[in-house]
Amino acid sequence: MADETASADIGSNVKEDLRAFTQKGGAVVMGVADAEAFSASPEGNRPTDYLPGAKSVVVMGGAQPRAADWQSPKYEHMEVSSTTDRIGALGNRVATHIERTYGYYALNVPQALDKGRQPFLSMSLAAELSGCGSPSLAGPVLHPEHGFMYYAAVITTLPMTPDPQPETPACPAPECVEMYDELGKTPCMAVCPIEDGGCIGGTIEDGEIASRSFDQARCTTRVQTYWVPGFQKTMEKLFEEDDREKRRMILNSTLMTRTLWSMTYANISQGQCFECMRVCPVGAEKRQLR
């Protein structure tokens, strides 16, 4: 049973306790969103759809690729290893902490996909609503200081005051505005131009995003080259192939091996393409070491 004194003390002290708990567990940032604020999410994928009576959503960000990962010219090592499972595991610990300490229901949102390849809960929207970052031209929510990171969310009946969203969006960064004014594109647009087979496009006016073009379907085929989509693609080819030797080649191919490795070792969906984030200046100083 939860401690009665602790469960009655619902206020700023509770949020600060959770902030300290998440940071000790490895989160870089933490914020709280109002569970009723997810009107932009489709019905069936909102906090109250998963936990009736939900009041708050605790969002944790962190577990980014390490600084050396961004520096390595052998990007393939990021295709079959992932850091996302660390932040997902923290979500489970936070949910347990809330239930045991304060006596409120808490549900860790799965970091997998629901029906129609849709997330159970939009982590991007959760991060935005909790003040952990703002949307970017490239797609991911960016924290103004730490840039790209992975997120976990815990839906809870514990009432807390939502955190404010950043006054100044992280994207576009001043360097991006300067580059756009000179060349008509930002670093992420340049490395993955939508008009030339890439995924990212848009316009900037008065230092702010005026329009955005993002080919999500095209990006998915590159970000999830391995993992479950890679397995499905390989199995389809396998079933279509009549030649026994060719089937053996498919089963023992590098694609199949790396796909199985990414599914069984990493456990959680991870990206195989980080080029837009590799060139993003937001949080870049955190990736510059010795």
Q: What is the pLDDT of residues 196-222, one digit of tens each?
A: 999 999 999 999 999 999 998 888 877
Taking the C-alpha atoms of residue 54 and residue 38, their distance in angstroms, rounded to an integer, is 12
Q: Which of 67-71, 115-119, 268-272 has the lowest mean pLDDT?
A: 268-272
Tell me the C-alpha distance between 93 and 87, whole Å: 10
Q: Backbone phi, then psi, for 115, in 5-degree steps?
A: -60, 145
Is the bond preceding 172 in cis, omega lying within 30 degrees of 0? yes
Decide: helix, strand or coil at residue 156.
Answer: strand
Q: CB of 96 within 8 A of CB of 85?
A: no
pLDDT of res. 259: 80
pLDDT of residue 139: 86
List the single range of 35-39, 223-227, 231-235, 246-250 with lowest mean pLDDT.
223-227
pLDDT above 80 (res 266)? no
Q: What is the mean pLDDT of residues 280-287?
A: 92
Under the banding of pLDDT at 50, 70 and 90, the label for residue 28 is very high
Q: Is the pLDDT of residue 265 over 70?
A: no
Query: What's the DSSP call for residue 147?
Result: B
Across 146-155, 180-189, 249-258, least confident range = 249-258
112: tokens are 């997998």
Cross-strand bridge partners of residue 201 = 213
